Chain A
Amino acid sequence: MDLWAAARLWGPPGLLLTWALHLALCLRSAQTSVPPSRDYCVLGAGPAGLQMAYFLQRAGRDYAVFERAPRPGSFFTRYPRHRQLISINKRHTGKANAEFNLRHDWNSLLSHDPRLLFRHYSRAYFPDAGDMVRYLGDFAQRLGLHVLYNTTITHVTLHKARQAWNGHYFILTDQMGHTHQCSVLLVATGLSVPNQVDFPGSEYVEGYESVSVDPEDFEGQNVLILGRGNSAFETAENILGVTNFIHMLSRSRVRLSWATHYVGDLRAINNGLLDTYQLKSLDGLLESDLTDLAIVKDREGKFHVTLKFFLEEGNPSADADAVTLPQDDNDNFAMRVAYDRVIRCLGWNFDFSIFNKSLRLSSGGKFSKKYPLIKASYESKGSRGLFVLGTASHSVDYRKSAGGFIHGFRYTVRAVHRLLEHRHHGVAWPSTELPTSQLTSAIVRRVNEASGLYQMFSVLADVILLKENAMAFEYLEEFPVQMLAQLETITGRKARHGLFVVNMEYGRNFSGPDKDVFFYDRSVGHTEDAWQSNFLHPVVYYYRHLPTEQEVRFRPAGWALPRPTAIHHVVEDFLTDWTAPVGHILPLRRFLENCLDTDLRSFYAESCFLFALTHQKLPPFCQQGYLRAQGLVGTESLRRHGVESGLLRDYTTADRLHEDGARRPLGSSRAPGPPVRPPESNKEEL
């Protein structure tokens, strides 16, 4: 451990040396019985593993990534089988803001190096998987991430130790039988086991992972595809033009991602079969539970679909042609035709096999096969100090947000890293402290550019912690919002005086697999209807107290967060540009003002001057600017506009003084608006 740390001090120029030394270290440790120990072990050098490695490296932490392949991103060397990624690579947005542009870049990992943006690796909107492999290779290499390639971890177990950070170490055993001891284990192995459904005849079924990708192999065939996800449609798309027909069979109805806003559902780029199905070609979609099915092979090697029930009834050893088929009873049975091929595209499961039972990674639930059991903080429910990152962590926001995909988990990985920095190194969650006069601006800035909020909507949200008397606030970015009750322990920040949560949300009843998402008048334009906005829009929650765990858990149905003291929706915007002064910023300011019970308007120095001599108290903007001799002076042309609008008063004409003989009483205005405002100005504007 000491040696390792010393080696790291040599820094990047000595990278080769570091490697050499590291190898030496490995060799030596193999000889001795004490396993090499690390603070952080990352399993898998895919996008999530590399992303975590990047943050650990930047923070100067002791870590290593274990990768069984000789290079990063091995999943992408084989998948998707037809090589086209369905994550968009938008190279132009018309904007220079790098943070904003990440909203439309679904492939890049987060780093400080602008060369490591995916748009430099492919010009295609839907890039080739090979480019992803190249990108991940560069990412690991350029940033000098510590990845141990060709190291297959075959077993992970727990070793109790009182001095360990979490009361135990994770012991990793590799294919050579060497062990590695880790204080924190970060599992980023993705979903690697093809999902298989067991039914009679499943042995005749080809898997997505091995099926031919050459369309010529399907020339003039009848094809049955099991599954209705993107891999199923991707496979169909590839052979659509050469087959006789394709039938697709799955339990549930097709879910179109443009109707559900969930990128894991069927993407339009893959849905060519839907088009031909509905345009009366021979292709088609069917719904049935796969577990009830059976497939039998006839003498000619063709496949027939029947029911498990018939098979059990009859003689199991009987010849295929003797088995009862549904069409025997029901002569218009849809799948009465014989198939040349049956292909299974049923998705992927997490590989639980290397984890010892003591880690309690699996649950008893329905999801137990697909995803490990984790909390909203991505920490395993079974063992403290074990975090699941990347695709395998998607149970947190399955079918909701983007946590199972690069453009989502790159942010959740960062959140996990921030949590770890505080838990083990005393580094509080990064935050910016600003005066209240900057509150509206701080929110407007984030909702207009933040990519993490946008991609991981309703999972990661910004939190604004108010300081005493609400004169200042701390701004925390991208906090896993389901952990809101534990905010203080996770971030090391105090939430004693109320808080705002800035979230992005779609309209509640807008999306769904069966909804008409293009209905007329679907968008809301009036600020007072903002709460009915359908498209993704910012929502600000105000809590007087940090919600409790109970409140978060038993929140109202369909709510991303517990019921707040007050809520504000910024009206949806066609351009996702929420900077309109009256349409967006003004209602937001009113909301913040009413939550904080203060006046958040900005004033020119002259107005502050007037207030300073005619009121005992000043609005926050004057207190935090003018009184510190940082008032906003303004220009003559702005002053003129102010006078025209009636918000400013022109004092340069002396005779006004005597006209308004009746003094406006000082204490009479209920809300101390600018006392200079002539009462008639209101009417003019109405």
Chain B
Amino acid sequence: MKAYLFRGNILLREFPPDTLFDVNAIVAHVLFALLFNEVKYISTLEDLQNIESALKGKASIAFSYVRAIGTPEHRAVMEAAFVYGTTYQFVLTTETALLESIGTEDIKNAHLYFFHCKQVLDLTEQCRRTLMEPPLTTLNIHRFIKTMEAPLLTEVAEDPQQVSTVHLQLGLPLVFIVSQQATYEADRRTAEWVAWRLLGKAGVLLLLRDSSEVDIPQHANVVFRRAEEGVPVEFLVLHDVDLIISRVESNMHIEEIQEDEDEDMASPDMDIQDDEVAETVYRDRKRRLPLELTVEVTEETFNTTVVASDSIVLFYAGWQAVSMAFLQSYIDLAIKLKGTSTMLLARVNCADWSDLCTKQNVTEFPVVKMYKEGETPVSYTGMLGTEDLLKFIQLNRISCPVNITSVQEAEEYLNGELHKDLISYSSVSVLGLFSPNMTTVKEDFTEAGNCLKGYVITGIYSEEDVLILSNKYAATLPALLLARHKEGKIESIPLANSPAQDIVQIITNALLETFPEITVENLPIYLRLQKPLLILFSEGSINPQYKKAMLKLAKDKHLDSLIPCWLNLQNTPAGRGILQAYFDALPPLPLIVVVNLHSGGQVFAFPSDQAIKEQNLLLWLKKLEAGLESHITVLPAQEWKPPLPAYDFLSMMDAAASHHPTRKDPECTKETDASEKDKKQEDKSAIRKEPIETLRIKHWNRSNWFKEGGKSFTHDNKEL
């Protein structure tokens, strides 16, 4: 057997069949024969030098080494030559000696060099060479040559986010060197140097800061933009060219790894738990909890135990991580309350007592409910942690609102004497003052107090002598008195004819502090206000001077558009994570930042070289407001996407169906009545399938279909 290649009726070549061992070999050989002029085959260094000197100033060279003719790499080179053969001189060798002589050590793999000969004017000068780093595939060569054609360095003045070059289309990142008029020449030299180093790996541009209308953070000298769409540009401060190079290369590295992972059939990551709650609960599964400190309630015992005494019931599911994590806090609570509380701590495992949970209107986990005799059960809506639940239980010991019966008692209530043991759980006590005849608003207040029961201490006073109190605290009836125990202050708030819901709102708002220490627990309450946060990060307690300055600013209404707060890194270590996200290099503490969470996500930092003083702060805030400050970073605005793909069983099933002859039933079957279907089933059962075959398919697919599955994930994701 032999193969012949004809052009028209002229025989070009004949191929011994053993050279055409696969598709790659066939394509490579045929193209090699056809592109005889475009691709020069050489075997010595001398040949190469001759070609090089002949082409200087005329055309550039694509020189490639492949290990053998007919390999996939050879095919890739030939295909590239088919496209670019008229523009560049393609030179091919299979001689390792030749490769070594031009300074490559790695001779195992195929290589492609681009010789920049076209620009060379001085014939004594050598052509610059660029080695193509990715493996030799048609696509990679195409991408590489395209970048060789692109201008080495482009000057731009537009927003880096808007710039578009061939590099982006080829999936390569862009590096902008930020330049100023004053240093233009030096910057340009640097940029060119960088451009040569990054040729084929990234596009390099010179961004002129002065003519640019873009907001570039002050110190940033490099802007890095990834090829992926929608990823915001990064502003970097890099003082070494090598850092820029390594930045790009490390990024490529990540991409490569990710590609590898996609092709990896086992894709091990998918089976690794990335849910922190599930993982921590799982890791803790062998620890025995002192569950006996809480009463396990069943369907049978629920009525006798829970309904009979005041109780807190935790509804959880043994298989659900979140509720099992909370169960630990619940047990900790039981340890704390051991022997001190009259409240029964009970728990129901809904995995066992599903019907009971449904009856108690529990449809999600975990749920905590408080059952008190004669009252409708109340669901706990606070943080799922020991402290907050403890507070809820303690504050529920008193009725809310507490009925105060004398001025004397009211004073005790306000100064915290009355509920001494409770004020550590509620730093504020609220007292409603009403004339005895204000029945409607009294009812509304009582309802509001009930609503807030377990979260705030409320009291009510409406005796005849209420005027003594209203005069003392300069409150017009009806009114609320707010006693802030920590600060020892009592404020009054007028209470117009507000419905209960509004009263709840008034009270919750009044609980907010002017300059709170922000914590994991209280951040959500402040975020509700939908304002930018002004945070002072402090290692340990806040300096009283700073606090004073802030309070002064707040008092003078300079902070009304912000939520001023401070964060103690010792109490809230996660604050360090936040600082790391905000600052490249962390300036010394304390630090003040404004975080515009709800519109734009910009983060502004108060200059760390300035003293934290009222005047400086005010000036900075003014500049901020005027838009004169540039942000240090922008918080990412991406949606939270699936952390990893899922198994694409649909594709696997499709693959199985197309590989499996017995499955080749007509694609669709009309739904018929049961009898016909039944007949069909019987027919099918006539085709006996050996179990061993099934087995083999199972194993086979594990290694093969998976790749297909993996590929279509990305495709599917987009569709979804």
Contacts and interface: CB of A to CB of B under 8 A. Distances in A.
24 contacts: A365-B676, A438-B365, A519-B695, A520-B691, A526-B702, A529-B698, A554-B668, A558-B665, A566-B648, A581-B281, A599-B642, A612-B523, A617-B637, A631-B385, A631-B521, A633-B384, A633-B385, A635-B329, A641-B280, A647-B274, A651-B576, A660-B580, A663-B584, A673-B643
A438 B364 CA distance: 7
B665 A557 contact: yes
A601 B363 CA distance: 19
B239 interface: no
B273 interface: yes
Interface stretch (A3-11, A330-338, A621-629): A621-629
A633 B387 contact: yes
Interface string A242-255: 00000000001000
A649 B576 CA distance: 10
Nearest to B652: A531
Contacts of B688: 514
Contacts of A597: 639, 641-642, 717, 720
Contacts of A514: 685, 688
B9 interface: no
Contact of A665 (B234, B354, B597): B234
A263 to B, nearest CB: 16
B520 A631 contact: yes
B321 interface: yes
A553 B279 contact: no
Contacts of A544: 720
Interface of B: 226, 228, 231-234, 268-284, 287, 298-299, 317-322, 325-326, 328-329, 332, 350-355, 363-365, 381-388, 520-521, 523-525, 527, 533, 535, 539, 569, 572-586, 595, 597, 601, 633-650, 652-653, 662, 665-671, 673-676, 678, 681-682, 684-685, 688-689, 691-692, 694-695, 698, 702, 706, 713, 716-717, 719-720
Given A557-B668, A610-B578, A660-B580, A530 B280 contact: no
A104 B226 CA distance: 58
Interface string A669-686: 011111110000010011
A20 B317 CA distance: 49
B354 A449 contact: yes
A465 B643 CA distance: 24
A586 B277 CA distance: 12
B505 to A, nearest CB: 15
Contacts of A589: 275
Interface stretch (A81-89, A92-100, A150-158, A276-284): A92-100
B524 A673 contact: no
Given A607-B574, A630-B383, A657-B576, 13 more contacts: A98-B354, A365-B673, A445-B317, A512-B685, A567-B649, A579-B319, A590-B647, A602-B275, A612-B523, A629-B383, A633-B329, A666-B636, A671-B642
Given A438-B364, A528-B702, A642 B581 contact: no
A82 B287 CA distance: 54
A613 B527 CA distance: 10
Contacts of A634: 277, 280, 325, 328-329, 385
A613 B578 contact: yes
B643 A644 contact: no
Contacts of A441: 317, 320, 322, 364-365
Contacts of B298: 96
* Best-buried of A586, A606, A648 by chain B (most CB within 10 Å): A586
Interface in A439-496: 441-442, 444-445, 448-449, 482
* Best-buried of B277, B287, B634, B669 by chain A (most CB within 10 Å): B277
A258 B275 CA distance: 40
Contacts of B319: 444, 448, 579, 585
Chain A contact-residue range equals 35 or more
Interface stretch (A45-53, A173-181, A233-241, A393-401): A393-401
Contacts of B646: 566, 568, 587, 590-591, 593-594
A676 B525 CA distance: 24
B577 A598 contact: no
B635 A620 contact: no
Given A97-B354, A528-B647, A612-B527, A554 B670 contact: yes
A170 B354 CA distance: 41
B279 A661 contact: no
A586 B274 CA distance: 9
A590 B649 CA distance: 12
Interface string A2-37: 000000000000000000000000000000000000
B378 to A, nearest CB: 15
B640 A569 contact: no
B355 A618 contact: no
Interface string A568-597: 110000000001011001110111011111
* Best-buried of B233, B276, B634 by chain A (most CB within 10 Å): B276
Contacts of B274: 601, 647, 673
Contact of A674 (B276, B641, B674): B276
A581 B273 contact: yes
B585 A661 contact: yes
A590 B581 contact: no
A367 B643 contact: no
A95 B521 CA distance: 38
B706 A603 contact: no
A533 to B, nearest CB: 10
B347 to A, nearest CB: 14
A609 B269 CA distance: 26
Given A590-B644, A676-B577, A632 B325 contact: yes
A556 interface: yes
A633 B320 CA distance: 16
Contact of A553 (B275, B352, B640, B670): B670
Contacts of A591: 646-647
The 7 A-B residue pairs with the shortest CB-CB distance in the complex, in nearest-first order: A633-B385, A579-B319, A651-B573, A519-B691, A593-B642, A599-B640, A590-B646
B574 A609 contact: yes
Interface in A329-379: 363, 365-367, 371, 373
Contacts of A556: 667-669
Nearest to B684: A512
Contact of A613 (B276, B282, B597): B597
Contacts of A641: 279-280, 283-284
B117 to A, nearest CB: 38
B640 A396 contact: no
* Best-buried of B233, B387, B691 by chain A (most CB within 10 Å): B691
Given A554-B670, A590-B645, A99 B283 contact: no
B278 A581 contact: yes
Contacts of A642: 276, 279-280
B521 to A, nearest CB: 7
A451 to B, nearest CB: 11
Contacts of A672: 636, 638, 640-641
B216 to A, nearest CB: 16
B332 A635 contact: yes
B234 A626 contact: no
A639 B584 CA distance: 27
Nearest to A532: B698
A163 interface: no
A553 B671 contact: yes
A670 B635 contact: no
A563 B667 CA distance: 11
Given A602-B322, A609-B523, A654 B640 contact: no
Nearest to A663: B584
A656 interface: yes
Nearest to A652: B573
A509 B720 CA distance: 30
Contacts of A599: 640-643
Contacts of B685: 512-515
A65 to B, nearest CB: 27
B275 A586 contact: yes
Given A399-B674, A626-B524, A614 B635 contact: yes
